[in-house]
């Protein structure tokens, strides 16, 4: 028994040792977990989640990119806030969600949010797929590179994207954690990735803060963030990176590994990626620094040779030397050819869609060589370039048929017209000009060791708009939003509604979730007689749930003029949700009239009874139904359209077609599409007639005269499906029309082999 007792004591002692060992191992972890919880509860440290709930009450149910996310990647420098694109926390089945990744080019520098390419692209896709709800979320931050993009990727995938767009590569050496960056804490890619994971911990953030404070005590030099100059000039630590050097190879390898991980992760999660090559200014930016190395000439020698070859007309040799000059420039703010090679190879390897932006830029440049014609300096697109960058992605997305099998040809705008009607003005162009000019007063565009010249102190503005733009950039006493508002109000008071529209439209693209700017834009469009666009902007103003009596009532009035009585009733009913007594009575009258035009007056008995009590001697007036939509000619094209109509009346169709075609260069309008279609029909050019009348269909499908033209044109081109669709539409909007029987007979007796006979029956 003594032996058994001694054995039990030994076993107990052994068990205690095991327990104490486990506790001693777990104790540090328990301490760290407890400390982490305490720090989070106390609000110490920072939330480094990529997305957070929207702070505004009116956007409950939406998420937005964390405005402080840049703090995670920039310890020594200031960081820019990301775009405030919102998306639903709970993604509905009918939403198509796109995330965009990149850096300053994707941010839209040197312009504001209205000219960043994802916002341009979002509007372009909205026109192409009007029945789709598309969420476009821009995650770009200035001066980040592929390490940050790779860190973003898991959280982006958590939000169920349908597609991811990537435009990145210029910042690989000097962006945060780049091989030559002041924000590079480690040179080991593994350590960088571990550091980024740990930065989500408040304990690790506290340790990093303490280490930084201690380092600051022993470092008497100014930090990188305190140096004079732009972020571009201050973020660079090791500027000289020669082609093929160890530092160059480090940057290229980091890019390849990070982008490979991003694309592989997307592929694993069945998310479609569209990745573009990147564009540089070859012709008009000399190499920032030229250092011969081994068998390599200095970059400037290649650049000078390229200039000579281009002057001689030897374009292929010129292009080859421009590329060498860019690749051997040892200050690496422009991605080398290796970056674009990697992009193409990784896209092919991971079944991502490669977006050939460089080809599009080349095809829109003299001699196929990109320069200042499309870029503001070394890499950032100017306004034309921003639209081309958007168009490059647009073409690949629509070609992929990922969103829908086909774009809507009735609502899709031509690239040229889309750009003309998009929201930006001279103010946006000038703000970009001043930011770039200021940038070029600093390294690497000039030697900062020489006498310092501050552009912001020497420039004298020229005129009101220029003065506003310069003050936004240099003084920063007003925002660009406030500058646009000032000009818009000034123009509107002067009766210059076209320029007021341009300023307010710019604001709708800068602030696409604020209904106020859409309503102000629509008011300008009403003054310009552009009812289709006014309706679109009134409807957009209510998209995020804002109950505006004014917007819905105005939209309803436009629908009444258009004879779209079903939609008119919808808007008038919506307007009642936020209306006083007088306003409600106005909408009730409109609803009753619309019901009468739809031959559904019986549904308005309650309205009739209400007004019989209020005003028994005055029944609700119901004016005769008319087709007056054609009378509203947008001011921009009014002179040409009126002259063309006079020519049509005297059957001078040739000159009329010329004027109408010229008007499309100013602005594409439904009324001109209709007139062109009708003139081509009279000229017996039926294919052209069909093309233009089809584009007019959304606006005039409630006009019986238009439907007659469209019906006959459809038959003239043997398109019986469109003819039947037109007949059904006529039955719907005017069931008592005497033409219904005639159309039915024509359709029943239609002979595709005898088109002329069918047409003669008109």
Give the whole-angstrom CA distance, residue 81 versus residue 110: 14
How far is CA 74 from its chain centroid? 26
Q: What is the CATH number of domain 426-614?
A: 1.25.40.10
Look at residue 585 in the predicted model and tell me its pLDDT. 92
Domain 54-198+235-279+338-420 has CATH 3.30.9.80: no
What pLDDT band is residue 364 in, cutting at 50, 70 and 90? very high
When mean pLDDT is compared across 352-366, 492-506, 718-732, the lowest value belongs to 718-732
Look at residue 415 in the predicted model and tell me its pLDDT. 95
pLDDT digits (tens, 9 = 90+) for 131-151: 999 999 999 999 999 999 999
Residue 501 backbone phi and psi in degrees, to 5: -60, -45
Look at residue 35 in the predicted model and tell me its pLDDT. 62
Q: Which of 704, 697, 408, 670 is nearest to 534 (CA)?
A: 670
Domains 426-614 and 633-760 share a fold: yes
Q: What is the percent of the chain with per-residue pLDDT over 90, rounded to a whole number?
A: 73
When mean pLDDT is compared across 79-93, 254-268, 613-627, the lowest value belongs to 613-627
According to CATH, the topology of domain 633-760 is: 1.25.40
Look at residue 394 in the predicted model and tell me its pLDDT. 98
pLDDT digits (tens, 9 = 90+) for 523-542: 999 999 999 999 999 999 99
Judge whether residue 562 has pLDDT over 90.
yes
- Sign of the alpha-carbon torsion through 365, 368, 372, 377: positive
What pLDDT band is residue 124 in, cutting at 50, 70 and 90? very high
Cα–Cα distances in angstroms (integers) from residue 176 to residues 112, 149, 598, 609, in the given order: 22, 11, 63, 71
Burial (CB < 10 A; 0-12, 13-18, 19+), residue 402, is middle
Give the whole-angstrom CA distance, residue 471 versus residue 721: 59
Q: What is the percent of the chain with per-residue pLDDT over 70, rounded to a whole number?
A: 91
The total number of residues written for the chain in this structure: 762
Asked if residue 714 lies in contact with residue 722, where contact means CB atoms within 8 angstroms, the answer is: yes
Section 186-192 average pLDDT: 85
How far is CA 356 from its chain centroid? 19
Look at residue 186 in the predicted model and tell me its pLDDT. 73
Asked if residue 93 lies in contact with residue 200, where contact means CB atoms within 8 angstroms, the answer is: no
Section 26-32 average pLDDT: 64
What pLDDT band is residue 274 in, cutting at 50, 70 and 90? very high
When mean pLDDT is compared across 151-155, 208-212, 380-384, 607-611, the lowest value belongs to 208-212
* Spans of all domains in the chain: 54-198+235-279+338-420, 426-614, 633-760
Look at residue 215 in the predicted model and tell me its pLDDT. 59
* Residue 521 or 761, more confident: 521
Look at residue 46 in the predicted model and tell me its pLDDT. 83
Section 192-221 average pLDDT: 72
When mean pLDDT is compared across 333-347, 382-396, 722-736, the lowest value belongs to 722-736
pLDDT digits (tens, 9 = 90+) for 321-350: 999 999 999 999 999 999 999 999 999 999
Look at residue 222 in the predicted model and tell me its pLDDT. 46
Asked if residue 205 lies in contact with residue 289, where contact means CB atoms within 8 angstroms, the answer is: no
When mean pLDDT is compared across 5-19, 43-57, 436-450, the lowest value belongs to 5-19
What pLDDT band is residue 225 in, cutting at 50, 70 and 90? very low
Section 30-51 average pLDDT: 75
Residues sharing a CB contact under 8 Å with residue 733, sequence separation 6 or more, in sequence order: 563, 701, 702, 704
What pLDDT band is residue 564 in, cutting at 50, 70 and 90? very high
């Amino acid at each position: 028994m003594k032996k058994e007792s001694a054995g039990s004591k030994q076993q107990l002692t052994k068990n205690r040792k095991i327990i104490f060992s486990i506790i001693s191992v777990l104790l540090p972890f328990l301490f760290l977990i407890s400390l982490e919880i305490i720090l989070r509860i106390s609000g110490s440290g920072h939330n480094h989640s990529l997305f957070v709930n929207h702070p505004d009450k009116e956007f409950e149910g939406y998420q937005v990119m964390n405005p402080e996310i840049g703090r995670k990647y920039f310890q020594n420098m200031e960081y820019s806030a990301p775009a405030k694109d919102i998306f639903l926390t709970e993604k509905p089945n009918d939403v198509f969600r796109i995330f965009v990744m990149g850096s300053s080019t994707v941010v839209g520098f040197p312009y504001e949010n209205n000219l960043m390419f994802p916002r341009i692209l979002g509007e372009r896709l909205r026109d192409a797929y009007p029945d789709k709800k598309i969420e476009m979320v821009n995650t770009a931050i200035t001066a980040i590179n592929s390490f940050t993009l790779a860190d973003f990727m898991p959280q982006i995938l958590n939000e169920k994207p349908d597609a991811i767009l990537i435009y990145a590569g210029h910042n690989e050496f000097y962006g945060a954690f780049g091989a030559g960056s002041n924000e590079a804490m480690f040179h080991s890619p593994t350590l960088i990735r571990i550091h980024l994971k740990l930065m989500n911990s408040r304990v690790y953030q506290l340790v990093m803060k303490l280490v930084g404070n201690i380092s600051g005590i022993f470092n008497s030099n100014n930090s990188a963030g305190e140096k004079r100059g732009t972020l571009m000039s201050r973020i660079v630590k090791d500027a000289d990176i020669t082609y093929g050097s160890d530092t160059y190879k480090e940057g290229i390898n980091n890019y390849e590994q990070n982008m490979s991980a991003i694309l592989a992760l997307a592929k694993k999660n069945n998310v479609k990626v569209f990745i573009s090559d990147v564009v540089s200014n070859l012709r008009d930016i000399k190499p920032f620094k030229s250092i011969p190395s081994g068998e390599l000439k200095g970059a400037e020698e290649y650049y000078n040779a390229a200039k000579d070859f281009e002057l001689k007309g030897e374009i292929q040799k010129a292009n080859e030397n421009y590329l060498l000059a860019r690749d051997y420039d040892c200050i690496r703010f422009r991605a080398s050819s290796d970056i674009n090679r990697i992009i193409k190879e990784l896209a092919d390897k991971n079944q991502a869609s490669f977006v050939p932006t460089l080809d599009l830029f080349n095809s829109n440049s003299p001699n196929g060589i990109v320069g200042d014609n499309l870029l503001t300096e070394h890499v950032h697109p100017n306004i034309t370039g921003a639209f081309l960058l958007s168009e490059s992605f647009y073409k690949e997305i629509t070609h992929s048929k990922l969103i829908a099998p086909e774009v809507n040809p009735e609502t899709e705008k031509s690239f040229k017209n889309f750009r003309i009607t998009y929201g930006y003005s001279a103010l946006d162009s000038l703000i970009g000009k001043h930011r770039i000019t200021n940038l070029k007063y600093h390294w690497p565009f000039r030697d900062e060791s020489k006498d310092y010249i501050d552009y912001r102190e020497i420039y004298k503005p020229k005129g009101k708009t220029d003065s506003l733009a310069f003050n936004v950039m240099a003084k920063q006493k007003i925002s660009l939003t406030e500058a646009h508002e000032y000009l818009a109000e000034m123009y509107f008071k002067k009766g210059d509604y076209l320029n007021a529209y341009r300023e307010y439209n710019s604001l709708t693209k800068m602030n696409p979730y604020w209904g106020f700017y859409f309503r102000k834009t629509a008011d300008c469009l009403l003054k310009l007689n552009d009812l289709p666009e006014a309706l679109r902007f009134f409807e957009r103003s209510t998209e995020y749930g804002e109950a505006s009596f004014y917007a819905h009532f105005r939209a309803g009035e436009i629908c009444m003029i258009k004879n779209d009585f079903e939609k008119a009733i919808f808007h008038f009913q919506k307007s009642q949700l936020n209306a006083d007594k007088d306003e409600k009575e106005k909408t009730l009258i409109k609803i009753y009239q619309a019901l009468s035009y739809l031959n559904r007056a019986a549904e308005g008995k309650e309205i009739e009874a209400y007004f019989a009590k209020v005003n028994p001697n005055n029944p609700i007036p119901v004016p005769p139904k008319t087709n007056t939509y054609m009378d509203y000619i947008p001011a921009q094209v009014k002179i040409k359209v009126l002259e063309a109509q006079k020519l049509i009346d005297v059957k001078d169709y040739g000159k009329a077609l010329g004027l109408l075609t010229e008007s499309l260069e100013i602005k594409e309008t439904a009324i001109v599409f209709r007139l062109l279609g009708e003139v081509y029909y009279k000229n017996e050019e039926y294919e052209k007639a069909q093309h233009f009348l089809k584009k007019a269909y959304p606006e005039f499908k409630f006009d019986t005269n238009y439907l007659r033209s469209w019906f006959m044109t459809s038959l003239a081109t043997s398109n019986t499906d469109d003819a039947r669709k037109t007949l059904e539409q006529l039955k719907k909007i005017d069931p008592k029309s005497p033409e219904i029987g005639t159309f039915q007979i024509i359709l029943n007796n239609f002979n595709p082999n005898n088109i002329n006979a069918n047409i003669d029956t008109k």
